[in-house]
Amino acid sequence: MTILKKLLIASAIAGVCSVTAVAEDSEKYVAISKGVKSIDMNLNGEKFTLMRNQTAGNKISSLYDTTDRGVPQPMVLAPGVETLGELEFIEYMKKAQTDTSIAIIDSRKPGWFARLRIPGAVNVPYTNFDEKDTAIEMMEDEMGVVQKDDGTLDFSKAKTLALYCNGYWCGQTPGMVKNAKYALLKMGYPAEKIKYYRGGMQAWTSLGFSVVGSSN
């Protein structure tokens, strides 16, 4: 790759991803990572500033402030499926702004998505994978999968999916990935192209990250 091409790519990325970095001893703030206070993004046509809530004493959303939840999901959802933390998930968000081979997907039912979500995410409810036709439709529309004339599925251009749902205990992403009747893995989706943000909305809101919607 030529130096000019590298510069052009860097300029394009800078146009959609501006990072606010400040010296940690210059002011008091709640950081995303060391020295980073906020990141300006443009993802799926949605412009927003990703940051953590800077209000002292801010409380977690009431949607996620109780502990009487379901059984925790395993750290390894399935062989070959990578589990992500917040910083890794954010890296996929940043890349997805300019890389159409990456999709940031909220696997929850539409009601959850409408109420509170991670900005820039696309809603693909896990319930679509209970039926073969809707599963294939979702994979074609949002995941880069192609159904051939003979009915077989071509995963050669399948997108890398960064998936999340409500939290450590939530079964909606696991349903889409492995448990539903026509789950991604059962349909042949490459495991290495599935990334599971296990903490989901519970972890995201517990850290005060930017959201769209309200818990009220």
Q: What is the pTM of this model?
A: 0.89
Q: What angle is formed at CA 155 by the lines to CA 110 and CA 94, rounded to 5 degrees?
A: 55
| Gyration radius (Cα) of the chain, Å | 18
Mean pLDDT value of segment 41-51: 97
Strands 102-106 and 160-164: parallel
pLDDT at 150: 97
- Does residue 26 have a pLDDT over 80? no
90-112 exposure pattern, b = at least 16 Cβ within 10 A, e = fewer: bebbbbbbeeeebbbbbbbeeeb
Q: Which stretch of DSSP H or E encloses residue 51?
A: strand 46-51
In this prediction, residue 7 carries a pLDDT of 36
DSSP state of 166: S
CATH of domain 71-213: 3.40.250.10
Of the pLDDT bands very low, low, confident and very high (cuts 50, 70, 90), residue 78 is very high
> For residue 8, is pLDDT > 90?
no
DSSP string, 184-205: HHHHT--GGGEEEETTHHHHHH
**Residue 118's pLDDT band (cuts 50, 70, 90):** very high
Q: Of 194, 179, 186, 190, whose CA–CA distance to 84 is shortest?
A: 194
SS3 of residue 162 by DSSP: strand
Q: What is the pLDDT of residue 10?
A: 41
Six-digit token pair at 170? 């939530």
Sketch the domain layout of the chain as residue ranges: 71-213
> Mean pLDDT over all residues of the chain?
91
The Cα 86–Cα 80 span in angstroms is 19
